[in-house]
Structure 1
């Protein structure tokens, strides 16, 4: 005799009391069209994002000459497609939704580091960065954590950037790469033990509340320092469109670490448990689905400001072209004499198009940093 599907029993199992296996979920989707539609939408978006990511990686690797710069830009460009891929795994396997969030964070942390490395590369190195910012103190009275300090005297909330100070700020940003994985590990342990609060996230006797508080605190600290550094560097890097690249990292950090906490509080505040995800870990499932939808907003920003020469590659000054440290490498099809010089002089960024072939690159040198050239490249 054929087994009869009992929808009532499945609702009892899935009514926020347990997470189904992938096979059980697809069986349940036959009677839950809303969940199936969400899964199809997420799959299509992820497939498109994967194609966009591969195309962008190939373009950046071919058209951005500096290895350090192209590597950092690839990390930034890939962040939302990778989020989509790991989030889709969480949708297909609900029991692994927490691990998919952990996977997204593990990719986010080196991306944050590469954003800082990109800022340093735009200056031409740490020495050039500190040298150019010595006359412009860093103001710490900025959102999200220090808005209340805007009324304080300027001397209390601003400091001149020095190497030790930069190293401390870098550590405050990278602390999230240690704190967040540890908190995710503890969350998974408490979930397996059954002591992680699901029905009452405000229960002060359970460890989940303190994990969420530490997560938000660590994230806000990293966001505060990133925002402070970005705002201080922006006047010196106007041609590099650093604000748009900063928004990519900032919102990725926010969505991965704070959004899930807000969803948990909202769902438990609304009460009840219904479609399309009537699972125990429905807050993580919803977080995965929303991250995939949010990628539709932020990936066009990545395409506009990262898959382009404008804001990433500058022309070479005449003085630098005569420098002994300037190493020319022709990447053009024709190798005739004179083409290299003509292409270099005609390579002002305002007139360069996406199809303009890259002509030159130079190795970094301490002497160039002293002369104030920074990391300058021609197209």
Structure 2
């Protein structure tokens, strides 16, 4: 990109208003915006229908977790659509998406435990087993780390490791909004003295810490829950993370550095945000369709050992409860 694009006043202006976007749309723009808005609308309608299905067909101990996890792609898709139409609200829509996904990280861990029968059944089945903690994203390069016995305390620590992200992400979001109203928070300010750089760095560290327990538990239960399609479910969860966090961060960095050229009424930064939102709408729409296939179905009970009579009775009782709900 040449230097003229960096000094052009049109490249340094604030994001355009919604009415400016509408008035500047050509035929291609109208088709594109209409198609993306339709995708976002369909994603939310499918999610609402999925929530009704889960509420009626799934046992109560799994309802909350499945609904939260299923909502990751539709919520991000809807927030990206709002940010596309109202560019000046991008900071808020991104914060809502990130806060929701922070809760999804914790809920996915809870879902894996509930798919195993809940805390008590999981602890009984794994009484003589250990967790492999040398997994990503924290310690995948440390195979020498000792394995941790599976106890009620270690399970609680895994839950706490993910829950702290859901809680503190919400706290940092509220703090960011408060600082923004005071003029002290600017997402484009990357100087060492800015509040944004410290808050974003803290959130990044918390994200890595929260993803670690989910990876540990997944490595432990992936064979047990293979019949419940836990591997593709985990893959979709990871894909949402990469696309909504890493992809967005890369595009935004390129925009802030001026690599992405401006196109009035969009400045370089605003155009980068626009590109990110449009990509996310299409990607989250596809993920919504895939997750619908993964979660909207009936599964056979997890096979348990015949010698574990207590656990078997719990599973049979749970299966009977699910059949009654289905009927």
Question: TM class by shorter-chain length?
Answer: 0.7 to 0.9
2:301 corresponding residue in structure 1: 314
Question: CA 1:279–1:94 in structure 2 vs 1: closer, same or farther (change >3 Å)?
Answer: farther
Q: Secondary structure at the match of 2:24?
A: helix
Cα shift at 1:47: 2.1
Question: Secondary structure of the equivalent of 2:71?
Answer: helix
Corresponding residue for residue 335 of structure 1:
none
- Structure 1 residue 70 and structure 2 residue 59: aligned? no
Q: 1:159 aligns with which of 138, 144, 148?
A: 148
- The equivalent residue for 1:248 is 236
Match of 1:220 among 204, 208, 211: 208
- Give the match for residue 113 of structure 2: 120
Structure with the larger helix share: 2
Aligned residues: 310
5+ residue gaps, structure 2, are: 1-6
Judged with a 3 Å threshold, the aligned counterparts in structure 2 of structure 1 residues 158 and 284 are, in CA distance, closer, same or farther, namely farther
Question: What is aligned with 1:336?
Answer: none
Distance 1:208 1:75, change over 3 A: closer
The reply to whether residue 43 of structure 1 matches residue 34 of structure 2 is no
For residue 272 of structure 1, report the CA deviation from its aligned partner. Answer: 5.2
> Residues 191 and 260 (structure 1 numbering): CA distance in 2 closer, same or farther, change over 3 Å?
farther
Match of 2:138 in 1: 145
2:252 to 264, 288, 291: 264
Distance verdict in 2 for CA 1:375–1:231, change over 3 Å: farther
Partner of 2:19: 23
CA distance in 2, matches of 1:209, 1:60: 40
- How do residues 278-293 of structure 1 correspond to structure 2 at under 5 angstroms? 278=267, 280-293=269-282
CA RMSD in angstroms comes to 3.2
How far apart, CA to CA, are the structure 2 residues paired with 1:220 and 1:286? Answer: 26
User: Highest Rg: 1 or 2?
Assistant: 1
Q: For each residue in 1:69-122, what CA deviation from the matched residue of structure 2 results, as whole angstroms up to 9, or x when unmatched? A: 234323222321222122211111111111112222343344333323322222
What are the equivalent positions in structure 2 for 1:1-379 lying under 5 Å apart? Answer: 15-30=11-26, 36-64=30-58, 66-150=59-143, 152=144, 156-189=145-178, 191-192=180-181, 193=183, 196=186, 198=188, 201=190, 203-271=191-259, 273-275=261-263, 277-278=266-267, 280-310=269-299, 313-314=300-301, 368-369=310-311, 373=315, 376-377=318-319
Asked if the contact 2:116/2:302 (under 8 Å) is kept, the reply is: no
Of structures 1 and 2, the one scoring higher in RCO (CA 8 A, sep 6+) is 2
2:3 aligned partner: none
Offset at residue 233 of structure 1 (A): 1.6
Ranges in structure 1 where 5+ consecutive residues have no aligned partner:
1-10, 320-366
In structure 2, C-alpha distance between the alignment counterparts of 1:106 and 1:197, rounded to whole Å: 16
Instruction: Report if the CA contact (8 A) 1:128-1:370 is conserved.
Output: no
